[in-house]
Chains A and B, each alone.
Chain A
Amino acid sequence: MYDYLWLIPFFPLVGFVFNGLFGKKIRNEAVIGGIGTLMIFLSFLVSCGNFYALLQDSEKVHQRVIASWMSVGDLQVDWGFLLDPLSALMILIITGVGTLIHLYSIGYMHGETGFYRFFAYLNLFCFSMLMLVLGNNALVMFVGWEGVGLCSYLLIGYYFEKKSAGDAAKKAFVVNRIGDFGFLCGLLTLFWALGNKGVWTINFVEIAENAHLLESGGLIVTVVTLAFFLGACGKSAQIPLFTWLPDAMEGPTPVSALIHAATMVTAGVYMIGRMNGLFAMAPDTMMTIAVVGACTALFAATIGLAQNDIKRVLAYSTVSQLGYMFLAMGVGAFTAGIFHLMTHAFFKACLFLGSGSVIHGMHHGYHHAHLKDDPQDMRNMGGLRKKMPITFWTFLLSTIAIAGIPLFSGFFSKDEILWWSFGSNRGHWLLWLVGAVAAGMTAFYMFRLVFMTFFGEQRTDPRAKDHIPESGLTITIPLMVLAALAVVGGYIGIPAILGGANHIKQFLDPVFGKAIALNQIEAHGTHALEYSLMAVSVGIAVFGIFLAWVMYVKNPALPARFVASFPGLWKAVFNKWYIDELYDAVFVNNCKRIGTFLWKGFDVRIVDGIVNGTAWVVKGIGSGLRYTQTGFLHNYAMGMVVGVVVIVGYYILGK
C-alpha cells in the first residue's frame, strides 16, 4: 500500500493541470467541479487505505523515495514521502475536509467567471499541502510550505480586480515569506550543525535519530528551533506575524474554510510536531512558543469581540485557536496540539462554510432586491434561524464545539491543552489562566456571532429579507458532515480521567513518545486538581455564553451602552489595536523610504555623481583648452616655433 503514497498528491496535481489547461475551454461547471472534487476524493481513498494499513502495521514509519532531487556533495535531497501516524492523520484531515470543501465550492462558486481557475488553484493547494505533510525531508516540506503560500496568494487574490484582494494576497505572501526566511535559516543552520557532527542530512527521520548529537538546551538547538518557530509564526498567523490572516478573508469563503482555517494555517503546528525531537530539546524555545501561543490566543480573542464582519470574527477566532495549538506545542503537549488541530479543522471548517452559506443567502437576497449592502455584515443579519435551518443547526453545533462545552469535540482537545499548560513541567499556571480567559472570550464572541446572525429580529433591508433562501444540497451536505464530525470528533481523544482510552495519544505515540520520554516532559497533578480545572474552564465558557445571551438576545441595547462608556477601548479593539498601522509606520514606510533614498540619494547622487563628475571634469578641461584652436594658421605656426625654440633652448642652456 505504501508504494502508492505518491498517488495522494498526484491526483490533485492531475486535477490542477487538467483544469488549468483545459478548464477555460470546457466551460461546463459540472465537469470542472466534478473532476476537481473527484481527484481529491481519490486521494482521500488512497489516504484511507494507507491509514488503515498503518493502523494494522506494527512498523509505524515508512519512507518512499521517488527520485533524487538535488545531489551536490554532502547535500543529498530526495523527492521522498514519509508516512507515519502524524502524516497519516494529516492527510486524512486534508483530503477529507478538502473533499467536502470541493463539493461545497461547486455550489458556492456557481456562475463565477473564474470557476475553472478556482478549482485549478484549489487542487494545486491540496497538492502542495499534501507535499507539505508527506515530505520526508525538510526541503520537500518547504516545497509544500511555499506552494501553499502561492495558492493562498492566488486564492486570496481570486477577485483580482478588487484592490483590497490584491493587497491582501500580496500581504499574505510577503508576511509568509518573513516566516520562510526563518524556516530557511533554521534549515540551513540545522544542516550545517548536524553536518559538523558528521551527519549531513535534512531527512526528518535521520534528524530525529541524530538530534541527540546536538547539545540539549544548547545554543544551536535553541537558535534552530527559534528560526523554525518564526517560520511557523508566519504560516500559522501568530504574533507578530498574524496580520495577514484577517485580511485573507478577501478570498472566497471555501478558501477561508480550507486554507485559512482547516489546513494551511495549521502547517506551523504540524511542522513543530514533525520536529518535536528538536523542539523538545530546547526548553527556551518551548517557553517562547507557549508564551507566544497564549498571547496570540488572548490577543486575537479580544479583537474578535468587536468585529462586525462575520468572516473577520471567524478569522480572529482562527488566530486565537491556532494560539491554543502553539500553547500546546510549547508546553510539550504535542498530542493535544495535533488533536486540537484536528477538531479545529472540523468545527472551524464547518463554521466558515456555514458563514459562507449565510453570505450566499444574504447575497442572493440583496441581489434579488438590487441592493449593494454588505452581505457579510452581521448588523444586517439576525433571525436567520428560520430561513436557513440546516445552516443554523450545523453552525450552532460547531459553535458549541468551539466554545468547549462538554461532550463536544472542542471540549476534549481544549481541556487537554489547558490541563497540560497548568500541569506540565514545561507549563505555568499563568499560561493556563490566559488560556482559560481566552476560552471564555471565545465562547462569548462565538455566541455573539450566533445570536447576531440567527436570533433576534431580522435587521436585513426589508426589500431583501424575504428572499434569503436556504442553500442547496452541495452546500448543506458538507455542512452536515462537518457538524457531525465536530460533535463526535473528540471521542478519539477522551482522556483517561474521564474513562476514555485516549486513542489518539496511543496512535501518535510512535511520533512523540520518544522525545517526550527523552526530555522528561510530563504533566502531573492529582485527579482532583484536574477535575477542578476542567470545571473552572467549563464554568468560564458557560459564563461567556451567558454574557453573550444577555447582551445580544435579552437586552440588545447593552452593547451600545457599553461602547459609549468605554469609547477609547472599544475603538482600539475595533481597529485591531492599530497593529496594521504600526507595522506600516515602522516597517513598510521605512523600507520604502530607504529604497527611495538608496535609489535617488545613493545611486543617482553618489555613484552616478562620481562617474558623471569625472566625465564633467574631463569635459571642462577640454572645453577650456579648445579655445587655443583659433583657426589662424599663424597662431599655430607661432606655437610651433616657440615650442621648438623652448625645447632647443632647454637642451642647449639646460645642459
Chain B
Amino acid sequence: MISVYHYLILSAIIFSIGTFGVLTRKNAIVIFMCIELMLNSVNLTFIALSRHLQNMDGQIFVFFVMAVAAAEAAVGLALMIAFYRNRESIDTDDFNMLKW
C-alpha cells in the first residue's frame, strides 16, 4: 500500500534534485527546468495531503501554482531570449552585471 509518506518522500527527493540543480547548473534553461521540478514537487505534496486530509484547499492551491508557473515560464523564457540576443549565451555566469 502506498501511503502518504511515499508521496511526501518522493516529493522531497524531487525538490532536493531541483534545488541541487538550481544551485549547480549554469545553463539558465536547465535552472529553469529545475525550478519547475521544485514547483511540481510542491504540487505533489499539496495533492497528496489534500487527499489525505480530505480537504480541497490543497488542490485549489495547485491550480494557482500551475498558473503562476505558466506565467513564470513565459516571462522567464522571454528574459532568456532577450538576454541571448545581447550576449549570445544563456550561461548564468554571464549574468553578473547587476552587482556593486
Binds A, one of B1-9, B39-47, B51-59, B91-99: B91-99
- Measured between beta carbons, the chain A residues less than 8 angstroms from B96 are 630-632
- CA of A627 to CA of B24 in the docked complex: distance in angstroms? 22
Set A629, A634, A637, A638: member contacting B99, Cβ < 8 A: A629
Cβ of A655 under 8 Å from chain B: no
- CA of A43 to CA of B47 in the docked complex: distance in angstroms? 110
Cβ of A626 under 8 Å from chain B: yes
Cβ of A617 under 8 Å from chain B: no
Are the C-beta atoms of B31 and A633 separated by less than 8 Å?
A: yes
Are the C-beta atoms of B100 and A634 separated by less than 8 Å?
A: no
Are the C-beta atoms of A637 and B100 separated by less than 8 Å?
A: no
Are the C-beta atoms of A629 and B23 separated by less than 8 Å?
A: no
Set A627, A632, A638, A641: member contacting B100, Cβ < 8 A: A627
- Measured between beta carbons, the chain A residues less than 8 angstroms from B93 are 632
Contacts A637-B22, A637-B23, A638-B23; A629 near B100 (Cβ below 8 A): yes
Set B19, B95, B98, B99: member contacting A641, Cβ < 8 A: B19
Q: In the complex, what's the smallest C-beta–C-beta distance from A468 to chain B, in angstroms?
A: 87
- CA of A626 to CA of B99 in the docked complex: distance in angstroms? 8
- Measured between beta carbons, the chain B residues less than 8 angstroms from A638 are 23
- Measured between beta carbons, the chain A residues less than 8 angstroms from B99 are 629-631
Are the C-beta atoms of A626 and B100 separated by less than 8 Å?
A: yes
Are the C-beta atoms of B92 and A633 separated by less than 8 Å?
A: yes
Are the C-beta atoms of A631 and B95 separated by less than 8 Å?
A: yes
Chain B 71-100 interface 0/1 with A at a Cβ cutoff of 8 Å (1 = within): 000000000000000000000110111111
- Measured between beta carbons, the chain A residues less than 8 angstroms from B31 are 633
Chain A 320-351 interface 0/1 with B at a Cβ cutoff of 8 Å (1 = within): 00000000000000000000000000000000
Q: In the complex, what's the smallest C-beta–C-beta distance from B70 to chain A, in angstroms?
A: 22
Chain A 101-133 interface 0/1 with B at a Cβ cutoff of 8 Å (1 = within): 000000000000000000000000000000000
Are the C-beta atoms of B92 and A632 separated by less than 8 Å?
A: yes
Contacts A637-B23, A638-B23; A629 near B98 (Cβ below 8 A): yes
Q: In the complex, what's the smallest C-beta–C-beta distance from A636 to chain B, in angstroms?
A: 10
Q: Give residues 611-637 of A contacting B (CB, 8 Å).
A: 626-627, 629-634, 637
Q: In the complex, what's the smallest C-beta–C-beta distance from B6 to chain A, in angstroms?
A: 22
What total count of A-B pairs have CB within 8 Å?
A: 27
- Measured between beta carbons, the chain A residues less than 8 angstroms from B19 are 641
- CA of A626 to CA of B22 in the docked complex: distance in angstroms? 24
- CA of A341 to CA of B54 in the docked complex: distance in angstroms? 116
Chain A 541-569 interface 0/1 with B at a Cβ cutoff of 8 Å (1 = within): 00000000000000000000000000000
Chain A 188-230 interface 0/1 with B at a Cβ cutoff of 8 Å (1 = within): 0000000000000000000000000000000000000000000
- Closest residue of chain B to A628 (Cβ to Cβ) is B100
Chain B 1-38 interface 0/1 with A at a Cβ cutoff of 8 Å (1 = within): 00000000000000000010011100000010000000
- Closest residue of chain B to A645 (Cβ to Cβ) is B19
- Measured between beta carbons, the chain B residues less than 8 angstroms from A633 are 31, 92, 95
- Closest residue of chain A to B28 (Cβ to Cβ) is A633
- CA of A634 to CA of B91 in the docked complex: distance in angstroms? 11
- Closest residue of chain B to A644 (Cβ to Cβ) is B19
- Measured between beta carbons, the chain A residues less than 8 angstroms from B95 are 631-633
Q: In the complex, what's the smallest C-beta–C-beta distance from A439 to chain B, in angstroms?
A: 88
- Measured between beta carbons, the chain B residues less than 8 angstroms from A632 are 92-93, 95-96
- Closest residue of chain B to A638 (Cβ to Cβ) is B23
Q: Which of A626, A630, A637, A638 has the most CB of B within 10 A?
A: A637
Q: In the complex, what's the smallest C-beta–C-beta distance from B20 to chain A, in angstroms?
A: 10
3 closest A-B pairs by beta carbon, nearest first, are A631-B99, A631-B96, A626-B100
Extra contacts, 16 of them, besides A631-B96, A631-B99 (Cβ < 8 A), are A626-B100, A629-B99, A630-B99, A632-B92, A632-B93, A632-B95, A632-B96, A633-B31, A633-B95, A634-B23, A634-B24, A634-B92, A637-B22, A637-B23, A638-B23, A641-B23
21 cross-chain CB contacts under 8 A: A626-B100, A629-B98, A629-B99, A630-B96, A630-B99, A631-B96, A631-B97, A631-B98, A632-B92, A632-B93, A632-B95, A632-B96, A633-B31, A633-B92, A634-B23, A634-B24, A634-B92, A637-B23, A638-B23, A641-B19, A641-B23
